[in-house]
Structure 1
Amino acid sequence: MSMRTLALPVLAASVVLSLSACDPTNPAAQPADPGTAQAAPTLAPAGNPAVTLVTPAADRTTSATPSAHPIASGTPKASATPSPSATPTVTPVTPDLKLDSYNQQTGKAVLAAADNGKGIPSPSSTAAVTAAVQTGQLIDSPPSAAAPHGALLAITAVKPAGDGKVQVDTRPATISELLGQTWANIKTALDPHKIQVTPRLKDLKTTYVPNPHGGNGSASAALELDANDTVPLPGGAKATLSGSLELDPSVVFSYQGAHGILVPEQAKVGFDLGAHANWHLTAGLTGSTGPVRIPVATLTATPTVMVGDLPVVITLNLTVYAEVSADGNVSVDVTQSVDGDWAIHADYTKAAGWTTATDPISTRITPVKATFAGTADVRSGLAAEGSVALYDAVGVKATVEPYLRAAVQGSVSVDSSGAEPSIDGSGGLYGGLDVEGAVMARIAILGTPLFEKDLPFKAYHDEWPIVAGSYRNAAPSTTPTS
């Protein structure tokens, strides 16, 4: 049977950023009307290792006041221009500095003169570097060898280290210290060329193909993964997985600063996920296996977006896996199509604190061919487990799993190409969606009050019948649904 390629494409290269100067007297600082044209995206320059030294928001002198405009839900249509008085104060430095080393456990870091782009350090004396670094400044570092997910730190002590370097003691800083009264509404889709793919199946292949629909928020190329592998299962059984998967994830981050205090009025962090899959799973299952995960690939991307002159680092980790479980003895042969769009996010307001939400915009599960034979309850799914972090602090993690479940005593065969379902014995076939996750305690990087434990999402579960009945060598009289 021919299958579509296993694609993780359409990780679109677009960033939509709204930034307000928070000055209601300045018309240019107000958000544009939703009906206006979309603003150009703002991304940090690629390959720039230099850190930004920033005066904390509490020490800035600005005439800005909080924006009266709430953070809009969904993708903003335009980007406002900040007034100079409200732009976060970036401390001018003589040399360009980079984060040479950083120990997250001790908080000790070393800043050094950045190279000239050709691997040659700029000629800066230790005295010049030391003079540029002061206690109380924030280190806003893009991803680097010393901090792969970027770093946002407050300097608590400075000590010359020689050779054009300075050693600093630091503590973790918060987004509120960095952004202050600014507000931002960011939705960032990912350039597939900047996604690190770690194969988890031996025959997984990664290629890039042109996307004829590129532009207007889509990437000009798609990331395509092809897989065909057999993996062991408990009890000596084996499962064969092949097929196609397309994912379209976007990272969501919103922030609205409060007036006079380093706690936001509102904040949001999460991710949107669109998916299309055509996949084929065959397995022979004996006894109670429990859920068995078959990892397909792990994807990591660390886009850096510019809020005014300041970089904000967002990290998305996404692991895709197939899952199969059974309670009994059964053979499984499923070729299935799955389409869906889901939004998973955590929202903060000063009045209500943190709340979580899962918005299943659509889920469609249509078995192309499904055959089960035996006596068992069996479930097969294709799941995406994702986490979103600001710098190196995980904010939200969640798992989205559309699945197919069968309760079989005898045999059940379904072909959605138009043939009538066949049930010999008794059985039922159901489509479903499970979403679970949590807001992490480390989300305190946003400057919100810290809670001691992870805050779990309200579990989302939905299941619907595709076909069910009890028959002997006959098609059921019910009409199958998708």
Structure 2
Amino acid sequence: MPKSKHKLTRHALLASVAVAALLTTGCSADSTPEAAAPAAAVTETPAAAPTPEQLAVVKAPLGKATPAAVATQEAAKAGGTARKSPLKVASYDRKSGRAIITAKTVTPPADHPTPPSSTPAPTAPSSPTDPTSPSAPSSPAPSASETTAAPAAPVRVGDVIASAPAPGAPDGLLAEVTEVVGEAPSGGTEVVTKSAELSSVLGESKAKGEVPVDPAAIDVDPLVEGVKVSWAKTGDLTFGPEGARLPLGSLRIDVGAAIATAEGAPASASASVRGFVQLAPEVAFSYDGSGGGRGSAPGGAFLGLTGDWASKWSLKGRAAATTATDGKPLRIPFAKLHADPVIQAGPIPIVVNLDLVCYFQVAADGKVTVDVEQDLKGDFRVGGTFSWSKGWTPVSESAMTGTPVGVKVTARGDVKASLGAEASIGLYGTVGVSADLAPYLRAEAAGSAEGSSDGTGSVSGSWALYGGVDLSGALQIQLTIFGTPIFQHRIPLGELHKEWPLAKGEASTSTSALKPAA
């Protein structure tokens, strides 16, 4: 046989052996399904990442006790969301962090498994009569009267509690359990807590919404005499002092007060402010727990105050230039407002702390005597927004328009009158955003003028009337309650200043006319 042909035959033989072996292996695999399982597992498509839970942000139900929510230690570590819980914060001491927790039931929830005992159960002795028996018949279990099991605590170390306002915690409670002390003498379980963050109860969920603040739930503390409060809500409509019908959800505060006059001014130049402010505030809240591998911190968040604003006020007389003590514009707070509305992100109660101080402010040179009035309407939005690319950044927006009702300016000089509100908004007793919203009316005169915005009157010299709004404030470090990185200083909202001409008057050889500004 030629050498080349022998070599080819040998190669063919080897190939046949290999094919036979392959077929044999395949048949063996087909006949044993269990052996094929690992190979099949390798080819499985990886499971898609779970979609973050979308939580509705709504107002807590009226007339019902707002439930608490608890995030177990296991759920918090896994980025899970807190769940509704029957527990109640019976009392809380902010200084020590101690709280008394009660619950309708002491049975641990499903995600609170009872930890196994560290001591193994004793093994029953073998039966002496049957050597093949693994154990002797078990002895009878002790009766309930012979043993008393300690009730399970409603919470464990590492659990995070989110609660609506409770005794000792008027601003609500967001706290992590650091120690379970035991049964309290007055009943319930005593625990020690420390402050927690929203990320520990909201986890990787998403939430977004704007919730109106019930005007009936706002406490109003008048700071000067003559303050009148009226409000309207669904099912309980109230009319304003002037008989005006209020829009539903609005709070109106009317005020009239005398202010200091300029030094040396005659008695006839007495100064006063009068008017009202009408608010329909809403809490804006959003949270995006998709941190993108950045631990427990969220990917985005927002906390702010929005709403509609309407006001009408007048300034009459010759106001003092400044206050007597610090030389700053004269500011007269006339009402302090406070509310702790509870909103719910899914089952989680979030307590918002809202404070407003309404005020008049007058800045004048002490020379000009005025009788001016303005009607103003618009809206506003202030707050702080967080993203990983920019960190915390301020939000300050306002869209307002004003109309002059009447104008009278005597002598040369300038005056600026504001009817504004200082606002602060926070969560669980910590201030996160502060803002000062100050719509104003400004008049400047190079002589004297009298008339109204309808285009009639007389002028000697010239004058101009302007409307405007100033908005300022800051983000506070306490916004890190969301679980975001700490910023080391207050972040100014940025000065928002808008001004628009309302009307003007010019000298003329004939009867002068007050001209509304273009």
Band the TM-score falls in, shorter-chain normalisation? 0.7 to 0.9
Residue 141 (structure 1) aligned with residue 159 (structure 2): no
Count of residues in correspondence between the two structures: 410
AA in 1 matched with 2:361: E
Partner residue, 1:179: 202
Match of 2:258 among 216, 230, 233: 230
Displacement of 1:232: 4.3
Match of 2:372 among 313, 323, 334: 334
Match of 2:355 among 306, 317, 326: 317
The C-alpha deviation readout for 1:231-290, integer Å capped at 9, x for no partner, is 446759864232232212111111000255211111111111311112222232244453
Retained in 2: the 8 A contact 1:326–1:379? yes
Is the strand fraction higher in 1 or 2?
Answer: 1
Retained in 2: the 8 A contact 1:211–1:222? no
1:435-446 to 2 correspondences below 5 Å: 435-446=471-482
Give the TM-score normalised by structure 1: 0.75
Partner residue, 2:422: 385
Of 131-140 and 378-387, more deviation after overlay is shown by: 131-140
Retained in 2: the 8 A contact 1:230–1:240? yes
Task: Name the CA distance, whole Å, in 2 between partners of 1:166 and 1:239.
Answer: 61
Task: Name the CA distance, whole Å, in 1 between partners of 2:216 and 2:476.
Answer: 29
Match of 2:76 among 59, 65, 83: 59
Task: Name the CA distance, whole Å, in 2 between partners of 1:174 and 1:29.
Answer: 18
Of 263-272 and 201-210, more deviation after overlay is shown by: 201-210
Task: Name the CA distance, whole Å, in 2 between partners of 1:371 and 1:57.
Answer: 70
Task: Name the CA distance, whole Å, in 2 between partners of 1:394 and 1:338.
Answer: 29
Of 274-283 and 205-214, more deviation after overlay is shown by: 205-214
Displacement of 1:316: 1.9
Match of 1:398 among 435, 439, 446: 435
Give the TM-score normalised by structure 2: 0.70
Retained in 2: the 8 A contact 1:394–1:443? yes
Match of 1:426 among 462, 478, 482: 462
The C-alpha deviation readout for 1:37-86, integer Å capped at 9, x for no partner, is xx894524545276443325763557xxxxxxxxxxxxxxxxxxxxxxx6
1:366–1:409 CA distance, 2 compared to 1 (3 A): same
Partner residue, 1:10: none
Task: Name the CA distance, whole Å, in 2 between partners of 1:99 and 1:332.
Answer: 57
Task: Name the CA distance, whole Å, in 2 between partners of 1:342 and 1:453.
Answer: 25
Partner residue, 1:198: 221
The C-alpha deviation readout for 1:453-480, integer Å capped at 9, x for no partner, is 1100121112233344652676667842
Residue 109 (structure 1) aligned with residue 98 (structure 2): yes
Partner residue, 1:240: 272
Secondary structure in structure 2 of the residue aligned to 1:444: helix
The C-alpha deviation readout for 1:158-199, integer Å capped at 9, x for no partner, is 323422144433221111111010110020111221111112
1:255–1:422 CA distance, 2 compared to 1 (3 A): farther
Q: Percent identity?
A: 31
1:274–1:331 CA distance, 2 compared to 1 (3 A): same
Retained in 2: the 8 A contact 1:58–1:262? no
1:107–1:231 CA distance, 2 compared to 1 (3 A): farther
AA in 2 matched with 1:142: A
Task: Name the CA distance, whole Å, in 1 between partners of 2:250 and 2:477.
Answer: 35
Residue 98 (structure 1) aligned with residue 130 (structure 2): no
1:422–1:434 CA distance, 2 compared to 1 (3 A): farther
Secondary structure in structure 1 of the residue aligned to 2:426: strand
Secondary structure in structure 2 of the residue aligned to 1:132: coil
Task: Name the CA distance, whole Å, in 1 between partners of 2:67 and 2:187.
Answer: 15
Retained in 1: the 8 A contact 2:57–2:207? no
Retained in 1: the 8 A contact 2:57–2:343? no
1:221–1:344 CA distance, 2 compared to 1 (3 A): closer
Displacement of 1:153: 1.1
Secondary structure in structure 2 of the residue aligned to 1:136: coil
Task: Name the CA distance, whole Å, in 2 between partners of 1:317 and 1:195.
Answer: 9
Retained in 1: the 8 A contact 2:68–2:348? no
1:245–1:166 CA distance, 2 compared to 1 (3 A): same
1:40–1:385 CA distance, 2 compared to 1 (3 A): closer
Of 49-58 and 164-173, more deviation after overlay is shown by: 49-58
Retained in 1: the 8 A contact 2:360–2:417? yes
Retained in 1: the 8 A contact 2:223–2:335? yes
Displacement of 1:149: 1.5
AA in 2 matched with 1:154: E
Residue 376 (structure 1) aligned with residue 413 (structure 2): yes
AA in 1 matched with 2:286: S
Retained in 1: the 8 A contact 2:362–2:416? yes
Displacement of 1:392: 1.0
Retained in 2: the 8 A contact 1:429–1:465? yes
Partner residue, 1:459: 495
Partner residue, 1:83: none
AA in 2 matched with 1:427: W
The C-alpha deviation readout for 1:206-240, integer Å capped at 9, x for no partner, is 234577999xxx97565443333334467598642
Task: Name the CA distance, whole Å, in 1 between partners of 2:62 and 2:389.
Answer: 37
AA in 1 matched with 2:389: A
Partner residue, 2:341: 303
AA in 2 matched with 1:272: T
Displacement of 1:394: 1.2
Match of 1:273 among 295, 307, 317: 307
Retained in 2: the 8 A contact 1:437–1:457? yes
Task: Name the CA distance, whole Å, in 1 between partners of 2:419 and 2:64.
Answer: 35
AA in 2 matched with 1:156: T
AA in 1 matched with 2:255: A
Match of 1:410 among 425, 440, 447: 447
Partner residue, 2:397: 359
Partner residue, 1:158: 180
* Structure 1 residue ranges without an equivalent (≥5): 1-22, 32-38, 63-85, 116-126
Displacement of 1:376: 2.3
Displacement of 1:383: 0.7
Task: Name the CA distance, whole Å, in 2 between partners of 1:56 and 1:454.
Answer: 32
Partner residue, 1:88: 82
Secondary structure in structure 1 of the residue aligned to 2:447: strand
Displacement of 1:353: 0.5
Task: Name the CA distance, whole Å, in 1 between partners of 2:474 and 2:511.
Answer: 44
Higher normalized contact order (CA 8 Å, seq sep 6+, divided by chain length): 1
1:187–1:107 CA distance, 2 compared to 1 (3 A): farther
